[in-house]
Amino acid sequence: MKLYDYNGASNPRRVRIFIAEKSINIETIQVDLASGQQFSDEYKKINPYCVVPTLLLDDGTAIGEVPVICRYLEEIYPDHPLIGSTAEERAIISMWERRIELDGYFSVVDATRNSNSNLKGHAVTGPHSYEQIPALAERGKKRTFSFFEDLNSLLEKHSYAACDHFSIADITAVVAIDLAKKRLDITPDSALTHLHRWYKAVSARPSMKA
């Protein structure tokens, strides 16, 4: 099994943190997104959608999409569960992971892809070319601030993003916050005390260096 990865990118970081939390070892191969290696014919054979990460199984099966890769790894390596131990727990954690991705992570990505001068003509992930929409970049920023507030409300109810223990939902939330800081210079307001208490605890985990 091999993970096609790029150290500078946030989407593969979600999988790297997941792997580190599960204490498993998977060989990684760097795909240089900065030089456009994801659009090469060689990589298109592995992932025609031209994105990292991709998990390549020994029989040649290629699995794309971060939450799908994580669920597959959770199934074959059930120790240190990060998506829950019962059907109900898996549903609750997956629901919050998805909401955090759609409202938080995707908002940061919208704001970045529709404003960064290096991404002109690449406003949507994938092989098709779309022009940037400045109004969507603005909406993405507004939605990022709403995400911070909604996450703070969640963290008032339980210690971690989805429940009372660390899960994949926390990984997606931390990576979204770190990406907002890195790409948009946006950080959560200091009044969001539950978010800051949680962020301090989770970002100190060794896995977060991944």
The footprint of a copy of itself (CB under 8 A) covers 49, 57, 61, 63-65, 67-69, 71-72, 75-76, 87-88, 90-92, 94-95, 98-99, 103, 123-124, 126, 128, 130, 133, 135-136, 139, 142-143, 146
- Among 92, 125, 94, which Cα is nearest to 12's? 125
Q: How far from each other are the two terminal CA atoms of the chain, in whole angstroms?
A: 19
Distance separating alpha carbons of residues 123 and 111, to the nearest angstrom: 10
- Residue (90 or 196) nearer to a copy of itself, CB: 90
In the complex, least distance from residue 204 CB atom to a copy of itself, rounded to whole angstroms: 29
Report the nearest approach of a copy of itself to the CB of residue 84 (Å): 11
C-alpha 2/C-alpha 57 separation (Å) is 7
Structure tokens at 133: 């929409």
Beta strands across the sheet bearing 54-56: 27-30, 2-5, 54-56, 62-64
Residue 2 or 72: the one with the smaller Cβ distance to a copy of itself is 72
In angstroms, give the least distance from the CB of 142 to a copy of itself: 7
Supply the DSSP string of 153-168, one letter for each residue: HHHHHSSSSSSSS--H
Nearer to a copy of itself, 39 or 49 (CB): 49
Question: What are the backbone dihedrals phi and psi of residue 5, each rounded to the nearest 5 degrees, phi first?
Answer: -140, 165
Q: Which is nearer to a copy of itself, 135 or 204 (CB)?
A: 135
Nearest approach, Cβ of 193 to a copy of itself (angstroms)? Answer: 21
What residues contact residue 47 under an 8 Å CB cut-off, 6+ apart?
Answer: 4, 38, 54, 62, 64
- Which CB atom, from 57 or from 201, has the smaller least distance to a copy of itself? 57
Q: Residue 159 CB, nearest distance to a copy of itself (Å)? A: 19
